Amino acid sequence: MYQLNFAPVLANADRLLAGAWVTVQLSFSAMVIGLVVAVACAAAKLSGPRPLRWLVDLYIELIRNTPFLVQIFFIYFALPSIGLRMSPNTAALVALVVNVGAYATEIIRAGIESINKGQVEAGVALGMKRWQIFRYIIIKPALRTVYPALTSQFIYLMLNTSVVSVISATDLAAAANDIQSQTFTAFEVYLVITGIYLVLSLLFSGLFSLVQRAVFNYPMSR
């Protein structure tokens, strides 16, 4: 009979908490920057010049049709060949932003296309500038429409951070791998981090729900 032994895990709780904090930082930073990238790319794809639309389409297709693991390897191992060197955590953040930006672009594009053109025409008739129309008439209602899909994508992004340990980024998964290799308590270590990832997912979901109520004034759909 296998005897559970959580003592080595508890003895390294500070390392797990430090790794969890890095995971939270990477996730939140990638969500915010990735959202900015997605909004810019969606706007370029819908109203930009044709060459720019082609570049955005190429970016989306490239990211959506290649594994995230390959993307992070390319950024961390291949880019130094042309002089672009990054620390593991920086490379992890860049990879996460590039990845989520591509997926979120299509989500936001769908939201923008759902806006009634009559509302845009009304804004033009009122003498609003293009950036005012985009800010007040297009982007907020579009984000309101696609918010549940975006939050699901962001939760998936947070879980995807576990992959960045392969380039020695100091996230939760990396901390767990180090502790397991030193204590040989694989079952206990990975059981604990499973619980931590679950808690982080629930916390992010709760945060997104609060943001939705504050910004869009309606409860999170279930």
Check whether 150 has a pLDDT greater than 60.
yes
Tokens, residue 44: 């370029």
pLDDT in tens, 75-110: 999 999 999 999 999 999 999 999 999 999 999 988
Is the residue at 75 inside a domain? Answer: yes
Is the residue at 200 inside a domain? Answer: yes
Average pLDDT value for residue range 134-156: 85
Per-residue confidence (pLDDT) for residue 221, from 0 to 100: 45
Is the residue at 222 inside a domain? Answer: no
Is the residue at 221 inside a domain? Answer: no
Q: How confident is the model at residue 143 (pLDDT cuts 50, 70, 90)?
A: confident
Is the residue at 157 inside a domain? Answer: yes
Per-residue confidence (pLDDT) for residue 220, from 0 to 100: 44
Tell me the CATH number at 82.
1.10.3720.10
Q: How confident is the model at residue 216 (pLDDT cuts 50, 70, 90)?
A: confident
User: Are 96 and 169 a contacting pair, CB within 8 Å?
Assistant: no
Is the residue at 141 inside a domain? Answer: yes
Is the residue at 1 inside a domain? Answer: no
CA–CA dist 8, 80 (Å, integer): 38
CA–CA dist 141, 128 (Å, integer): 17
Domain that includes residue 13, residue range = 7-216
Number of domains in the chain: 1
Is the residue at 2 inside a domain? Answer: no
User: Are 159 and 202 a contacting pair, CB within 8 Å?
Assistant: no
CA–CA dist 32, 28 (Å, integer): 6
